[in-house]
Structure 1
Amino acid sequence: MTDDLPPGRGATGEPEGVPRAAPAPDAPAPTVGRGGRRRDQALALGWLVAAWLLLWGDVSVGNLIAGLVVGVAVLLFFPLPPVTFGGRFRPRELLVFLVTFIAELVSASLHVAAVALRFGYRPRGAIIAVPLRVRTDLNLALTAEVISLVPGTLILDVDRARGVLYVHVLDVRGPEDVSGSRERVLAVERRIVRAIGSPAEVHRLDLEPVERRNHQ
């Protein structure tokens, strides 16, 4: 496979002439109490267990216990800076996110399998830069994890200061595939924020991406 970029794209897959996203303004870190810290650790443990089950592809008691042990070990021996959760859970939007994720997982798996079985076909790849609209550490991490779990896409780097994900996508045939891949990443971000984001973060989704505004 060769990582060629379609014409008219920069080294990161961004359209030429589109300004880069400005760095997020610095803000003082919120104070996290003991109860909030425990809540954040419980949420992190839940996501680690979910990622473990998805990686194994089998929901069983043994895998659940192993995921809990691995998750606790990661949080204990590799502590990360506190990531506060100021959002709210919305069951309907969370269900939409889960159903859509499973559908995309199946569709992408079938597409990658078809590419792999196509005799003599050499798919091209591209690296695209996707500026997210909600640049919190939690949203960057969750969006990157979900994108990496879908076959055919892989997170190569994360620009935390500018809130940009650099994604490698498989089987790129033209500029429309690059635009489509970027839209899919933004759609994942939108579903995550609508499922667990704060009202302010949900409102921020109404702001159109820079690229879309420039193409109107």
Structure 2
Amino acid sequence: MSPRRGALLQLWRQLPFFLWLIALWMLLWQQFTVLALLTGVIAAVVVTRVFRLPPVELSGRVNLWYGLVFVVTFLGALVRGSLTVAWQVIDLRRQPGAAVIAVPLIVDDDVILAHTAVTCSLIPGSLIVDVDRGRHILYLHVIGVRSDADVETQRASVLRWERRIVNAVGSRAQVRRMREVLR
């Protein structure tokens, strides 16, 4: 492979990350204007060129249907989690109970690990307190846990988020691995 073709392939693989940085910039400023787009491009160039980040190896695969399923389910989980936590706060009859649980993930990929961790932390009622990157284990503090069955329910929930993320943006090999393990 020629050096020029290798550089183009590298740029193509980094394009989703670059576009994500631009979208993140626009979301942070809450502006969807041409000026926000241009400053987002500048910010993305600075972040990717000045700060030497390790290369992010993306799968190059995006499944729009599973992406939509992820977004809709995530929004539903945000509403449900908010209502659940609010109810636990105002229900004076009992304490909600809390636990720190370990959840070993199925897919051995740092990007999937990061996406799963962020997703779980954004849903009210759970928070990532530690990550064992080498063994791909997430440690979560969760509220509303009163029994071992509740712990297993939380663990299964995290694994469902991992499955949704893999289905949406994981590689074909990761999707196969997920299906094999879940059988």
TM-score (norm 2): 0.79
Of 157, 173, 176, which residue of structure 2 is paired with 1:184? 157
Structure 2 residue 89 is matched with structure 1 residue 116: yes
Deviation per CA, 1:94-131, whole angstroms, max 9, x where unpaired? 11111111111110011111112223643221111111
**Residues 58-85 of structure 1: per-residue CA shift (max 9 Å, x gap):** 95437x9399379635545544311211
Q: For residues 113 and 143 of structure 1, do their structure 2 counterparts lie closer, same or farther at Cα, with a shift above 3 Å needed? A: same
Q: Residue 102 of structure 2 is aligned with which of 129, 146, 158?
A: 129
Count of residue correspondences: 174
Q: For residues 23-38 of structure 1, what are the structure 2 equivalents within 5 Å?
A: 33-38=6-11
**Separation of aligned partners in 2, 1:70 and 1:150:** 31
Aligned ranges 1:153-168 → 2 under 5 Å = 153-168=126-141
In structure 2, the residue matched to 1:68 is 40
Q: CA RMSD in A?
A: 3.0
Identity of aligned residues (%): 43
* Aligned counterpart, 2:172: 199
Q: For 2:134 and 2:165, how far apart are their aligned partners in 1?
A: 20
- Residues 1-40 of structure 1 aligned to structure 2 (within 5 Å): 33-40=6-13
AA aligned opposite 1:202: V
Q: Which amino acid aligns with 1:130?
A: V
- The answer to whether the 8 Å contact 2:70/2:164 transfers is yes
Q: Which secondary structure does the structure 1 equivalent of 2:179 belong to? A: coil
Shift, 1:183, TM fit? 0.3
**2:67 and 2:168 in contact (8 A); partners too:** yes
Runs of 4+ in 1 over 6 A off after TM superposition: none
Structure 2 vs 1, CA of residues 35 and 82 (structure 1 numbering), >3 Å: closer, same or farther?
same
Read off the aligned partner of 1:65 and give its amino acid letter. A
Q: Could you tell me how far apart the structure 2 residues matched to 1:161 and 1:115 are?
A: 35
Match of 1:85, SS state, is: coil
User: Which is further off, 113-122 or 37-46?
Assistant: 37-46
**Structure 1 gap segments, 5+ residues each:** 1-32
**SS of equivalent residue, structure 1 residue 116:** helix
C-alpha distance 83-163 of structure 1, shift in aligned 2 (>3 A) = same
Structure 1: how far apart are the matches of 2:19 and 2:85? 29
Worse overlay, 125-134 or 70-79:
70-79
Segment drifting more, 150-159 vs 200-209: 200-209
Alignment CA distance shift 1:59-1:127 (3 Å): same
1:150 matched to 2:123? The reply is yes
SS in 1 for 2:56: coil
Residue aligning to 1:5: none
Question: Which structure ranks higher in relative contact order (CA pairs < 8 Å, sequence separation ≥ 6)?
Answer: 1
Show the counterpart of 1:27.
Answer: none
TM-score by length of 1: 0.68
SS at 1:61's partner residue? coil
